[in-house]
Amino acid sequence: MLSQLRSLWWVFLHTFRKRDTLQYPEEEVYLPPRTRGRIVLSRDPDGEERCVACNLCAVACPVDCISLAKAEDDQGRWYPDFFRINFSRCIYCGMCEEACPTYAIQLIPDFEMAEYDRANMVYEKDDLLIAGTGKYPDYNFYRVAGMAVGGKDKGEAENEDYPIDPKSLMP
Amino acid sequence: MLLKIAEILFIFGVLILGAAALTWVERRLLGLWQDRYGPNRAGPLGILQPVADMVKILTKEDWIPPFADRVLYVIAPAIIIIATFMVFAVIPLSPSLGVIELNIGLLFFLAMASLSVYSVVLAGWASNSKYALLGGVRAASQMISYEVFMALSLAGVIMMAGSFNLRTIVEAQQGLWFVVPQFFGFVAFFVAGLAESHRLPLDLPESEHELTAGFHTEYSGMKFGMFFLGEYVGVIVTSAMIVTLFMGGWHGPWLPPLVWFGLKMAFFVALFVLLRAAIPRPRYDQLMAFGWKLLLPLTLANAVITGGVLLAGS
């Protein structure tokens, strides 16, 4: 009986406490930098698309919300012909970001993407591509990969030796 | 005659508006005590929330389950509204204000409180589903048990005032409020009032955690709204009865009588909400044991001692 009166008093003392609620639309919510929110496609430092259309993100996606098709430009670079994410299915798990070998696909701290029309939740490549490099400012896939593209031949990538000629007898 | 009708309409309107506002006040107070805000969007401080709720509940589909007993199902919510509103007719709000002055005002209140049991029991029965039936059964035994102590706890007040007339009872508290000499009666009446209006610590007929919603599980739309309204009017009526019987009614210094009555009533309404915020619901056997093993001897002893003291003093 006394403990009931005591808990009554304690609850009453909450009158003078600060309220924990964040008045969201007026007050901004703090999102940590690593928050998994809206998905973007980043560009490399040269301003080219990072995505090489390897389809690993689409494979990793547990809800199959990513679809894309490969294309190749005259430089020999691979890029996605279209890249489509259905955000009404996306569960923001970040598997695509983990799977991506070129750091192209990234999840950023933004969740305010509500729509009245479900069809508007499907983002095309134009909606996904951003101008900058995102979380990895210096990384450029074609500068470290061994693949030959226009302006960079075999062996010219960073930390890459020129290919050896197995038929040559010279040391 | 016209003046009387205006008075009745005024009290009726204040009661309905008060009950509607209470839905907002309660949620705001609960929010305050749980370190959050509660509804604060509709209008300044969210004051228009009851309007929004009203629009929502009135435009909802009014559905009667096909397995229900239609007649009783419709009558049940009406009974609680009628019974709780009728109680307010005998409560004197100020020296001049009050719908009717009955010589048996207190008995009328007890009778109406008993009638409101029919509402929950019939609702539970007519719904024809097991949760509702269990809620109705609980309501029946809880309310009938606590009615006993409710009446007994008032025996002391009746003896001290020498009347069943609520106006006479208030006037008898001119010098000393009955809460002082009748403290145990006050506590017992408070608990019994809580059980009668089945408010949260003692809301076993509803208990949403085990019975989904108890007796009004099957109700929707405005019929559910009427149960809701009845509950809030019940809170106001119980507070008003506590104020009338124990806290000196409209008596108080400086302020006009009606304001004093309102302030005291608001205090008890807030206390009801605080109880809801703080105290968990007891188990059903605990509720029954508390009533019969603690409150019954306490109220009986209170009545006997009060009678003895009065007899010795006369």
Nearest to A17 among B35, B275, B279 (CB): B35
Query: Is A83 among the domain residues?
Result: yes
Predicted ipTM beyond 0.90: no
pTM more than 0.80: no
Q: Write down the pLDDT at residue A85.
A: 92
Please list every residue in chain A whose beta carbon sits closer than 8 Å to the beta carbon of residue B36: 19-21
- pLDDT of B25 strictly over 80: yes
Residues 57-86 of A with CB under 8 A from B: none
Beta carbons of B37 and A23 less than 8 Å apart? yes
Task: Provide the 3-class DSSP secondary structure of residue B103.
Answer: coil
Residue of B nearest to A18 (CA): B35
**Which is nearest to B248 in space by CA: B188, B170, B167?**
B170
**Could you tell me whether strands A105-107 and A78-86 are parallel, antiparallel, or unpaired per DSSP bridges?**
unpaired
pLDDT digits (tens, 9 = 90+) for A22-31: 888 888 888 9
Does some domain include residue A123? yes
Q: What is the DSSP letter of A121?
A: G
B277 contacts in chain A (CB < 8 Å): 11
Instruction: Give the closest-approach CA distance of A2 to chain B in angstroms.
Output: 12
Q: Cα separation of B188 and B190, whole Å?
A: 5
Q: Which pLDDT score, from 0 to 100, does residue A95 have? A: 92
- Is A27 within a domain? no
Q: Could you give the number of structural domains in chain A?
A: 1
Tens of pLDDT, residue by residue over B154-211, are: 888 888 888 888 888 888 888 788 877 888 888 888 888 888 888 878 877 777 777 7
> Do the bridges between strand A122-123 and strand A105-107 make them parallel or antiparallel, or are there none, so unpaired?
unpaired
Measured CA to CA in angstroms, residue B74 lies from A34, B30, B55, B261 at distances of 56, 32, 21, 35
**Residue-level pLDDT at A67:** 92
**Could you tell me if residue A165 is inside a domain?**
no
Average pLDDT, chain A: 88
- Give the domain extent around A121: 33-144
* Residue A71 belongs to domain with CATH number: 3.30.70.3270
For residue B260, give the amino acid letter. W
pLDDT of B99 above 80: no
* Helix runs in chain B, H state only: 2-33, 49-58, 70-90, 105-127, 130-153, 155-161, 166-172, 183-196, 208-211, 221-245, 257-278, 284-289, 296-313
Look at A14 and B274 and tell me if their CB atoms are within 8 Å: no
Q: With 90 as the cut, is the pLDDT of residue B285 above it? A: no
Whether residue B235 contacts residue B175, with contact meaning beta carbons closer than 8 Å, is answered with no
pLDDT band at A41 (very low <50, low <70, confident <90, very high): very high
pLDDT for residue B100? 80
- CB pair distance less than 8 Å for A10 and B34: no
Best of A8, A10, A16, A24 to disrupt the B interface (most B CBs within 10 Å) is A8
pLDDT above 90 covers a percentage of chain B that reads 0
Chain B residues touching A13 at Cβ < 8 A: none
Note the pLDDT tens digit of each residue in B110-136: 888 888 888 888 888 888 888 888 888
How much is the pLDDT for A86?
A: 92
Cβ atoms of B200 and B137 within 8 Å: the answer is: no
A14 occurs within a structural domain: no
The residues pairing with A72 across neighbouring beta strands, listed in sequence order, are A78
Residue with tokens 């050896």: A164
* pLDDT confidence bin for B137, thresholds 50/70/90: confident
Interface of B with A (CB under 8 A): 31-37, 274-275, 277-279
- B chain contacts of residue A23, beta-carbon cutoff 8 Å: 37
Please state, as a whole number, how many other Cβ atoms lie within 10 Å of the Cβ of residue B281.
18
> Which DSSP category does A152 fall into?
B
The mean pLDDT of B43-52, rounded to a whole number, is 86
Kindly report, residue by residue over B227-262, the tens digit of the pLDDT.
888 888 888 888 988 988 888 878 778 888 888 888
Residue-level pLDDT at A105: 92
Q: Measured between alpha carbons, how far is B23 from B235 in angstroms, rounded to an integer?
A: 11
Model pLDDT, residue A63:
93
Q: Which residues of B touch A15 (CB under 8 A)?
A: 32-33
All residues of chain B having their beta carbon less than 8 Å from the beta carbon of residue A18 are 35
Q: What is the pLDDT of residues A133-171, one digit of tens each?
A: 888 888 888 888 888 887 788 878 888 888 888 888 877
Is A19 in Cβ contact with B35 (below 8 Å)? yes
B33, B275, B279 member nearest A14 (Cβ) = B33
Mean pLDDT taken over chain B:
85
Q: What is the mean pLDDT of residues B48-74?
A: 86
Q: Is the CB of residue A11 less than 8 Å away from at least one CB of chain B? A: yes
Q: Which residues pair with A123 in a beta bridge?
A: A85
How many C-beta neighbours within 10 Å does residue B307 have? Answer: 14
In the prediction, which pLDDT does B61 show?
84
- Per-residue CA distances from B275 to A16, B214, B260, B269 (Å): 18, 20, 23, 10
Among A12, A20, A23, select the one facing B35 at the smallest CB separation: A20
C-beta atoms of B274 and A8 within 8 A: yes
Q: What pLDDT is stored for residue A166 in this prediction?
A: 86
Asked whether residue A154 is assigned to any structural domain, the reply reads: no
The minimum CA-CA distance between A111 and chain B, rounded to whole Å, is 22
Inside any domain, residue A26: no
Long-range contact set of residues B11-19: C-beta below 8 Å, sequence gap at least 24: B11/B88, B11/B93, B11/B97, B11/B99, B12/B85, B15/B85, B15/B88, B15/B233, B15/B236, B16/B229, B16/B233, B18/B236, B19/B229, B19/B232, B19/B233, B19/B236
pLDDT at A160: 82
